[in-house]
């Protein structure tokens, strides 16, 4: 528990005595509750780690410049899973041919890349959940990107590190395909929160040659007007699933197709706090891979999506269909637990 979390915990216990100190909306004292957060205005926000535990973040805390100057993307780890090693990863190393030759990598198989968010690592919940769903329905090369050193820095530092992390990831896949084979038309990058912006930068590093990118509730804090944010030109087809829009995720339609389950914001069914709604994006995506039965209706505009009043053409949300191609804003309703 960091000092801000400790401070808020004390305030929560003694809020009557400390009303003058703890009052107001500048510091939210309920862990995970971002209901008072205003994008571009609020200084403090709760952001979950890889185990969905909320941490209080100071968005005005100076980034660690010494860390940012250390070419942090070179610390990326690339963990390979296939149906031949579905549970025990093999580490692929950039410019190390033997690490690939001695692995289960198969250049005839499609490639899925999974990238976690802030305060997480390669073992965080998003990775096995999506990995297992993909291997359940198809034979893939799956690479889990562990960028924990940069991701476990101050949030402001992690935000600044995203372009470097993404560039190194894109350069690694370029090297892998150049030296060991692969098919750009069978590449799907999947990123959660900050990881959504990482995969956007990776796509940019290879000139948009990636077939598909899925952004899972792309991070909102510090990303409004940020040139490093995920955008529709980063891949052949970019799809976003928004579940905590306006708080931890962005509400803006930034992909070719943008889905807004249950209005796209907090509270998602079964969630009572923003951090739960944020994480719901990767749970929903994993379900779309396994069952492929969640469909959105096209909306006239974002307001219609937020009010859950869309009635246009249907489009399946998520899944791993490489031939998927569409554009627009889509709304849908889901249940509160898997299968959604």
Q: What is the DSSP letter of 44?
A: E
Count Cα neighbours of 21 within 13 Å in the Cβ-side half-sphere. Answer: 10
**d(C-alpha 91, C-alpha 80), whole Å:** 6
**251 and 226 in contact (C-beta within 8 Å)?**
no
219: helix, coil or strand?
strand
**d(C-alpha 91, C-alpha 165), whole Å:** 17
Active-site choice (148, 188, 242, 278)? 278
Active-site choice (193, 274, 279, 281)? 193
Provide the pairing of β-strand 54-58 with 237-241: unpaired
Active-site choice (217, 244, 256, 287)? 217
146 catalytic per annotation: no
Beta bridge mates, 328: 257
Residues with Cβ within 8 Å of 156's Cβ and at least 6 positions away in sequence, in order, are 58, 59, 60, 61, 62, 63, 222
CA 330 to chain centre: 19
193 catalytic per annotation: yes
Active site residues: 193, 217, 278
């Amino acid at each position: 528990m960091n000092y801000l979390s400790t401070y808020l915990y004390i305030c929560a216990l003694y809020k009557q005595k400390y009303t003058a100190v703890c009052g107001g909306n500048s510091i939210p004292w309920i862990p995970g509750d971002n209901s008072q957060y205003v994008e571009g205005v609020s200084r403090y926000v709760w952001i979950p780690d890889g185990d969905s535990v909320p941490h209080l973040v100071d968005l005005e805390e100076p980034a660690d410049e010494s860390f940012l100057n250390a070419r942090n993307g070179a610390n990326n780890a690339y963990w390979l899973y296939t149906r031949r090693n579905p549970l025990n990863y093999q580490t692929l190393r950039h410019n190390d041919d033997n690490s690939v030759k001695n692995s289960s990598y198969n250049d005839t198989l499609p490639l899925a890349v999974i990238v976690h968010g802030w305060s997480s690592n390669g073992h965080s919940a998003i990775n096995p959940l999506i990995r297992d769903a993909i291997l359940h329905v198809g034979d893939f090369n799956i690479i889990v990107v562990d960028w924990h050193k940069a991701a476990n820095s101050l949030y402001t530092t992690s935000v600044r590190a995203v372009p470097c992390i993404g560039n190194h990831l894109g350069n690694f896949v370029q090297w892998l395909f150049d030296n060991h084979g692969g098919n750009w038309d069978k590449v799907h990058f999947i990123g959660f929160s900050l990881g959504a912006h990482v995969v956007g930068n990776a796509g940019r590093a290879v000139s948009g040659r990636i077939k598909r990118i899925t952004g899972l509730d792309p991070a909102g804090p510090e990303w409004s007007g940020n040139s490093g944010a995920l955008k529709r030109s980063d891949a052949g087809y970019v799809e976003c699933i928004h579940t905590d829009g306006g708080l931890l995720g962005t509400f803006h339609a930034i992909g070719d197709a943008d889905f807004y389950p249950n209005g796209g914001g907090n509270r998602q069914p079964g969630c009572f706090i923003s951090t739960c709604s944020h994480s719901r994006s990767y749970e929903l995506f994993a379900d779309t891979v396994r069952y492929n039965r969640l469909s959105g209706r096209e909306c006239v505009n974002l307001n219609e999506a937020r009010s859950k009043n869309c009635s246009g053409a249907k489009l399946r949300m998520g899944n791993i269909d490489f031939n998927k191609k569409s554009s627009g804003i889509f709304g849908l309703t889901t249940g509160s637990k898997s299968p959604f």
